Amino acid sequence: MSLIHFNQILVFSPITHTQMTWTDETDRQASGLVSPQYWQDIAKKLEAGGFDGVFFADTLSLADRDPAEARRTMEAGALFPRMDPFALIPYMASVTSHLGFGATLSTAGTPPFLAARRLATLDNMTGGRVAWNVVTSHVKSDYDALGLSQPDHDTRYDVADEYMEICYRLWDGFPRDALVMDAERRMFVDATKISRVEFSGKYLNCDAYPVTMCSPQGRPLIFQAGQSGRGLEFAATHADAIYALQSRLASMTAFVTRARETAAKLGQKRDPRIFFGLQPIVGGTEEEARARAEALKQRVPIDVAMSRLGAMIGIDLSKHDPDKPLEEVSTEASRGILMAVLDSIGDRAPTVREAALHWGVAYGSGQIVGTPEQVADEIERHWRESGCYGFNISPTNNPSSVIDFVEEVAPILRKRGLMRDGYAGTTYRQNLDQKS
For ligand FMN, the binding residues (CB under 6 A) are: 57-59, 104, 106, 135-138, 225-228, 231, 243-245, 277, 334-337
Separation between Cα atoms, residue 305 and residue 311, nearest integer Å: 10
Closest residue to ligand FMN in the complex (CB): 231
Closer to ligand FMN at the Cβ: 231 or 370?
A: 231
**Alpha-helical runs (H) found in 244-351:** 249-265, 286-298, 302-313, 335-342
Question: What is the closest distance, in whole angstroms, from the C-beta atom of residue 142 to ligand FMN in the complex?
Answer: 7
Closer to ligand FMN at the Cβ: 339 or 403?
A: 339
Question: What is the closest distance, in whole angstroms, from the C-beta atom of residue 195 to ligand FMN in the complex?
Answer: 30
Closer to ligand FMN at the Cβ: 219 or 335?
A: 335
Crossing angle for the helix pair 352-362 and 302-313, nearest 10 degrees?
90
Written as one string, the DSSP assignment of 115-126 is HHHHHHHHHHHT
Separation between Cα atoms, residue 187 and residue 405, nearest integer Å: 51
Crossing angle for the helix pair 352-362 and 286-298, nearest 10 degrees?
110
Q: Do the Cβ atoms of 133 and 224 come closer than 8 Å?
A: yes
Question: What is the closest distance, in whole angstroms, from the C-beta atom of residue 237 to ligand FMN in the complex?
Answer: 13
Beta-carbon neighbour count of residue 377 at 10 Å? 16
Question: What is the closest distance, in whole angstroms, from the C-beta atom of residue 177 to ligand FMN in the complex?
Answer: 34
Separation between Cα atoms, residue 143 and residue 156, nearest integer Å: 12
Closer to ligand FMN at the Cβ: 215 or 228?
A: 228
Q: Do the Cβ atoms of 181 and 140 come closer than 8 Å?
A: no
> Cα-atom radius of gyration of the chain, to the nearest Å?
21
Measure Cα distances from 177 to 189, 212, 249 in Å.
9, 13, 46
3 state SS of 11: coil
Closer to ligand FMN at the Cβ: 29 or 137?
A: 137
Question: What is the closest distance, in whole angstroms, from the C-beta atom of residue 303 to ligand FMN in the complex?
Answer: 23
Question: What is the closest distance, in whole angstroms, from the C-beta atom of residue 276 to ligand FMN in the complex?
Answer: 9
Q: Do the Cβ atoms of 233 and 266 come closer than 8 Å?
A: yes
Q: Do the Cβ atoms of 161 and 198 come closer than 8 Å?
A: no
Question: What is the closest distance, in whole angstroms, from the C-beta atom of residue 104 to ligand FMN in the complex?
Answer: 4
Closer to ligand FMN at the Cβ: 5 or 335?
A: 335
Closer to ligand FMN at the Cβ: 21 or 59?
A: 59
Closer to ligand FMN at the Cβ: 9 or 93?
A: 9
Question: What is the closest distance, in whole angstroms, from the C-beta atom of residue 59 to ligand FMN in the complex?
Answer: 4
